[in-house]
A and B are shown apart, each in its own frame.
Chain A
């Protein structure tokens, strides 16, 4: 039986159109109706200018970058684990970054005033990056011995690390005061609501660097689908590919968690649908995951803003509502004919 797949240009084109439509919707829909090309043919008011350029545009760009980063992180992690259910959330990288952010929110007040003043609004992002990196480094130390990384050990260590980070996060929440609790709850649900140019400036370079590094990993990840020994037989520098993928995942997940809290399931849903459409080859899967992830998160964020306007739904809730059933669907489909 021949494998049924869709032509790549058609899929790429459709995703491009989806991203374009989501972009236009994200810029024009909301409390103030304003089409993104209106400034081209009429004078717009300072308020409208502020809405378009200081609120909607940074939010659009941040959503697109975070969506691309989370989807590509998922695809990388799944390639590394040879399992479509692996996700940065699963190996504790997201939990580590989250712990860092919670430490900053709850204990930030105890820091020396000079340090607080120096870091300013970057305090939470910096701590989240640090948490993500620390989780990844601990994971790597535990899971690798004599230059070899055991994927099974890494997966188990990641689960334990996630539980530990979750427990410490819980302790901190226990110690938090009411104002901090409100911040924590909102941040933890996952939201792009606080997007602004400084946040974008803090996260964008890391996300872009992570995204640009992935083409170097594509061939190696394909070969590793046959197992690490076979990839080595085919001349793939397996350890280097693993290290590169782990670093890229830590960077993109840390940056995403810092600016948007926990947005789950994007990293599982996007690569899974794309594998069904165009196949599992990473040379196409990684860039198209970036495109699809960006489009999906921008669209979901726009929906989150509009559904309960003038309030807005935390996007993490929306993504979980869509993502969790898809995860279960993958699980049941795989159980039918494959070992998980």
Chain B
């Protein structure tokens, strides 16, 4: 269980996050959604411990600030929006860095298996900087997966924090990435994902957290959050909701008009 209480953050004297309470369960994908500038990434950075500020974040009852960097690296991995690699490392070497720092460092074959999972096994010995933007994004996903390769470590769930993991990807690879997150959650790990694509979110997340101006304005299942009034107010445009077969909730932005 991830618990965050009274989280706050200020950037340049301006409060960008105010009194945020959040609970996320392992075994689920928790998606943070909201308009640009609503504080999604700031919330994620408070949850990972990258950003200092008011409030406390606990993983399984243990405050983040009491864990050493090494211990924390075995319990959670973080995928930022973009990462540049400073030297000509190969894909294998980049993924191996995650593996060596994580909770399955002693296991052989993890680098290969993580790359298999994101469909990059054939690029393993190529230079990282020679790959396309989408391939690099998946390469970094393989790196963080290799870091928390065991979704449950020493009896406690491991966590994946991902910031817009599908932003650079086509629809096929978007589904592939969401499947990677799904399998991790199904195996007992916890996933916190900042998402822009509401349809994709509704299809895959158990919990949706809607951010508005540095606060959580709604949280719950996709069916509870994906309502026309809530989303129309948050995104400041008129939205209509349709339901697809199998209880999925779909948003159809092509019929939207700006408010």
Residues of A at under 8 Å CB distance from B?
A: 1-3, 82-84, 219, 222-227, 229-230, 232-237, 275, 279-281, 338
Structural contact, A232 and B85, CB atoms closer than 8 A:
no
Top 10 nearest A-B pairs by Cβ distance?
A: A235-B73, A82-B86, A280-B87, A234-B101, A225-B86, A233-B78, A235-B70, A2-B125, A235-B69, A235-B101
CB closest residue in chain A, given B78: A233
Residue B130 at the A interface, CB < 8 A? yes
Residue B145 at the A interface, CB < 8 A? no
Which of chain B's residues have a CB closer than 8 A to the CB of A230?
78, 80, 83
CB closest residue in chain B, given A276: B88
Q: What is the minimal beta-carbon distance from B135 to any residue of chain A, in angstroms?
A: 12
Which of chain A's residues have a CB closer than 8 A to the CB of B46?
none
Structural contact, B98 and A275, CB atoms closer than 8 A:
no
Structural contact, A3 and B88, CB atoms closer than 8 A:
yes
Structural contact, B126 and A2, CB atoms closer than 8 A:
yes
Which of chain A's residues have a CB closer than 8 A to the CB of B110?
none
Partner of A225, one of B77, B78, B85, B102: B85
Structural contact, A223 and B101, CB atoms closer than 8 A:
yes
Structural contact, B126 and A234, CB atoms closer than 8 A:
no
Structural contact, B101 and A280, CB atoms closer than 8 A:
no
- Which of A223, A225, A226, A279 has the largest number of chain B CB atoms within 10 A? A226
Residue B18 at the A interface, CB < 8 A? no
Indicate with 1 or 0, residue by residue over B58-93, a CB within 8 angstroms of chain A CB atoms. 000000000011111110011010011111111001
Q: Please name 6 pairs of A and B residues whose Cβ atoms are closer than 8 Å in the assembled complex, sorted by A.
A: A82-B87, A226-B84, A226-B97, A229-B80, A234-B102, A279-B88
Structural contact, B86 and A83, CB atoms closer than 8 A:
yes
Structural contact, A234 and B98, CB atoms closer than 8 A:
yes
Residue B127 at the A interface, CB < 8 A? yes
Query: Could you tell me the distance between the alpha carbons of A225 and B88 in the complex, rounded to whole angstroms?
Result: 10
Structural contact, A279 and B101, CB atoms closer than 8 A:
no
Query: Could you tell me the distance between the alpha carbons of A236 and B70 in the complex, rounded to whole angstroms?
Result: 7
Structural contact, A236 and B69, CB atoms closer than 8 A:
yes
- Which of A219, A226, A233 has the largest number of chain B CB atoms within 10 A? A233
Given contacts A2-B125, A235-B69, A235-B70, A219 and B87 within 8 Å (CB-CB):
no
Structural contact, B89 and A280, CB atoms closer than 8 A:
yes
Structural contact, A279 and B80, CB atoms closer than 8 A:
no
Residue B50 at the A interface, CB < 8 A? yes
Partner of B89, one of A233, A236, A237, A281: A281
